[in-house]
Structure 1
Amino acid sequence: MVPSDRTRPASKGDSRLFMAKAEEFLCEAADALTAERWDAAGLAAIHAGISAGDAVLAYHGGIRSAGQDHRSAPELVERTLGPSSHDSVKHLKRLVAKKNTVEYEQRRLSHAEAVDLESHARRFVKWAISRLP
């Protein structure tokens, strides 16, 4: 795939780095849930999803997402991996849709929102791992 203004080149080797980040962020999201730090859990979950998306993009497309708000990431993953990725990409869509809310809105995440984000991240990371060697 040819890099665009919303992507940057990445190698198959980079996919391991991105997946390691995804797994680390996912662990942090779970730890933050246990500690009742809802905003931290939500943001870590979102970053887990973004990193997992970059892992599959790097491996299968030779790119990573570079958009400011990451809203193009789900479309890039689906375009790169094809229609079979559609159901799993829904989890990434849910995650990036909440990114600005978690980071910038003048309110705190609720327990339910944090749990929901961690669940979507866990499902998407699991799917991404299944698409890598």
Structure 2
Amino acid sequence: MPPKKIKTKAVDRSEYKIYLKKANEFYDTMIQAKERKKWNAVGLNAVHCAISSSDAMLIFYKGIRSTNDSHLTVIDLLNSINLTEIKSKCMTL
């Protein structure tokens, strides 16, 4: 059986900054929520930080972002960037 095609969308590479800014905002909010022991907010902001960070990396290196229904398919896309640092981080997802 051939591998499933991952749905992606072409994005101008300069837009990575938008997603990186979002990731930083989610990260900052996650840290603030942690200090206030708002655990649901910590979890949600951590997930959104990871999604926006992944989008920023894919846009910067490949000019794409995932439009697939499953967020887990982003791991295959990130691994296609072929950088050791990214591959090691993907193993934790």
Instruction: Name the TM-score class by shorter chain.
Output: 0.7 to 0.9
What are the Cα deviations for residues 14-38 of structure 1, in whole angstroms up to 9, with x where unaligned? 1000000000000011111111111
Q: Find out whether 1:82 has 2:79 as its counterpart.
A: no
Letter in 2 for 1:82: N
Q: Any gaps of 5 or more consecutive residues in structure 1?
A: 94-133
Letter in 1 for 2:65: R
Number of residue equivalences: 88
Of all paired residues, the percent bearing the same amino acid is 26
What are the Cα deviations for residues 87-106 of structure 1, in whole angstroms up to 9, with x where unaligned? 02234x2xxxxxxxxxxxxx
1:90 and 1:22 mapped to 2: Cα distance? 20
Corresponding residue number in structure 2 for 1:33: 34
Please, what is the CA RMSD of the aligned residues?
A: 1.5
| Shift in Å, 1:5 | 5.4
2:54 and 2:45 mapped to 1: Cα distance? 14
Q: Is the 8 A contact 2:13 2:59 kept in 1?
A: yes
Structure-2-length-normalised TM-score: 0.85
Point out 4+ residue stretches in structure 1 off by more than 2 angstroms.
none
Q: Find out whether 1:13 has 2:14 as its counterpart.
A: yes
2:37 and 2:62 mapped to 1: Cα distance? 37
Q: Is the 8 A contact 2:9 2:66 kept in 1?
A: yes
What are the Cα deviations for residues 43-66 of structure 1, in whole angstroms up to 9, with x where unaligned? 101110110110010011110111
Q: Which moved more, 1:51-60 or 1:61-70?
A: 61-70
Letter in 2 for 1:8: K
Q: Which moved more, 1:11-20 or 1:62-71?
A: 62-71
